[in-house]
Amino acid sequence: RAVCQDGCWSRGELIPYAPLSLDPAAKVLHYAQSCFEGMKAYRTRDGGISLFRPERNAARMAHSAERLCMPPVPESLFMDGVRTVTAYCANLVPANSGESLYLRPFLMGTQADLAVSASTSYEFYVIASPSEAYHSGNMRLWVEREDSRAAIGGTGDAKVGGNYAASLLSIARLKQRGYDQSLWLNAGNRQSVDELSGMNFFAVIDAELHTPALNGSILEGITRESLIELARDLGYQVRECAIDIDELLRRVADGSCEEAFACGTAAIISPISVLGDGGENYQLASAPGPVAERLRQALLDIQEGRTEDRFGWMQPVEVI
Ligand code: PMP
C-alpha cells in the first residue's frame, strides 16, 4: 500500500490483507476515480518466479491514471509493489502448467468531498491470488448493437472501473439469452468491431490474422500486443485494421473466417464458437482453431520458461 497526498507519494508498505476503511463521501465511490491492472507471475521450469512484461502494466496504469486526472504511480513504486507482493506470496505461485499468481494493482481517489473534481488524496494497493488454469471453453459472443462500452473521447483506452460498469447490463442481458460475452462495436460508427468487455478480439480470415486497430476506444491489451509479435515471428500475416461486423458475419457464414478468438491476461486465449446477432447464430468452423491453439501454446511456453524468452518478456522476481 502507498498513499499520495497533494501529489507526494509515500513509501510502499506491506500490510495484512483486510477490508479497507473509506469515508462514505470518498470520490472513488461516487465518481469512479479508479484505475487498475491485471497481471500474472508464473512459476518457471527452473523453479523460479517471473512476471510477464510488468513494465507494460506500469505504463498502461500511468496512462489510465492520467486520463482520470490522478497522479500516476511512479514506475519504481509500481514495480516495487508487484515484486514485493509476488515475493511475499512466493509459496502461492502454482507450479502446474496454466496456473499462476494473478496480481491486481489499483489506484483510487479517496478524498471525502462530493464536488465533481479530482481528489487530493489517493491510495495504491496490490492484491494477489493464485489463479487456476482458466479455460473459458468455447465462447458464444453476442454482437452488442444496443449499447456502447466506450464513447469517442471517453475512457475506452484506459483501464478504469467505469468501463466495466458500462458493460454490466449488456452481460446480464446476454447471459439470459444463452451467450457468454458481448462483442462491442465502435461507438462512433456502430459498425466496426472494438473488443470484448475484458479481452481483445482476433479473427483468422483467409489464413491471416486480423485484429481491430487501436482507435482510442479499444484497450491496448498486452496479450494482444504480444500475440501480434509472436504470430509474426511464427510466420503469420497479421493485420491491424478496422473489422466491419457485417463483413465478418458474412465471412463466418461463407467459411472464409475459419476461427476467431479473444485474448487477455486472465484466459490468455479463448476460442469463440458462435457470434450471435439478433436472432441469427453464426457458427465458427473451428473452435478451438489451430491458430489459437498454436499461439496459446507458444505464449505459455515462454511464460512458463519451456522455451527461450526471445523477446525479453519475462522478469524474474527474487524471492527472499
Ligand atoms: N480489453 C479490456 C477491456 C480488458 O479489460 C482487458 C484485460 N486487461 C483486455 C482487453 C486485455 O488486456 P491484457 O491482455 O493486457 O490483459
Domains in the chain, please, with CATH? 2-131 (3.30.470.10), 139-303 (3.20.10.10)
Tens of pLDDT, residue by residue over 61-90, are 999 999 999 999 999 999 999 999 999 999
Atom of ligand 1 nearest to the CA of 56: 15
Mean pLDDT rounded to a whole number for the chain? 96
Longest CA pairwise span in the chain (Å): 59
Q: Tell me, what DSSP letter sits at residue 295?
A: H
The torsion region of residue 133 among left (phi > 0), alpha (psi -120 to 50) and beta comes to beta
Q: What's residue 166's pLDDT?
A: 92
Going by alpha carbons, the residue nearest to atom 9 of ligand 1 is: 199
Q: Give the separation between CA 191 and CA 187, rounded to whole angstroms.
A: 8
Atom of ligand 1 nearest to the CA of 159: 5
Q: Which residues lie across from 177 on neighbouring strands?
A: none
Q: Tell me, what DSSP letter sits at residue 71?
A: P
pLDDT tops 90 at residue 136: no
**Ligand 1 centre distance from Cα of residue 23 (Å):** 30
Going by alpha carbons, the residue nearest to atom 2 of ligand 1 is: 198
Atom of ligand 1 nearest to the CA of 222: 15
User: Is residue 318 very low, low, confident or very high in pLDDT (cuts 50, 70, 90)?
Assistant: very high
- Helical ranges in the chain per DSSP H: 27-31, 54-67, 75-88, 161-165, 168-176, 222-233, 245-254, 290-303
Tens of pLDDT, residue by residue over 107-135, are 999 999 999 999 999 999 999 999 987 76
Q: Which residues line ligand 1 (CB under 6 A)?
A: 38, 159, 195, 198-200, 219, 221-224, 264-265
Q: Give the separation between CA 48 and CA 86, rounded to whole angstroms.
A: 12
**Within 13 Å of residue 263, how many CA atoms lie on the same side as its CB?**
25
167: Cα separation from own chain's centroid: 14
Q: pTM higher than 0.95, yes or no?
A: yes
User: pLDDT: is 151 or 199 the higher one?
Assistant: 199
**Ligand 1 centre distance from Cα of residue 80 (Å):** 22
Q: Do 163 and 208 contact (CB within 8 A), yes or no?
A: no
Beta strands 100-109 and 49-52 are unpaired
Atom of ligand 1 nearest to the CA of 195: 1
Tracing cell 479473444 back to the chain, one arrives at 262
Instruction: Specify the DSSP element, H or E, that contains 218.
Output: none
Cell of 84: 514485493
**Ligand 1 centre distance from Cα of residue 196 (Å):** 9
User: Is residue 137 very low, low, confident or very high in pLDDT (cuts 50, 70, 90)?
Assistant: confident
Q: What's residue 165's pLDDT?
A: 95
Average pLDDT over residues 89-103: 94
Q: Provide the 3-class DSSP secondary structure of residue 91.
A: helix
**Within 13 Å of residue 97, how many CA atoms lie on the same side as its CB?**
10
Closest CA to 53 of 316, 313, 317: 313
In degrees, to the nearest 5, what angle opens at C-alpha 225 toward C-alphas 221 and 226? Answer: 115
Going by alpha carbons, the residue nearest to atom 12 of ligand 1 is: 221
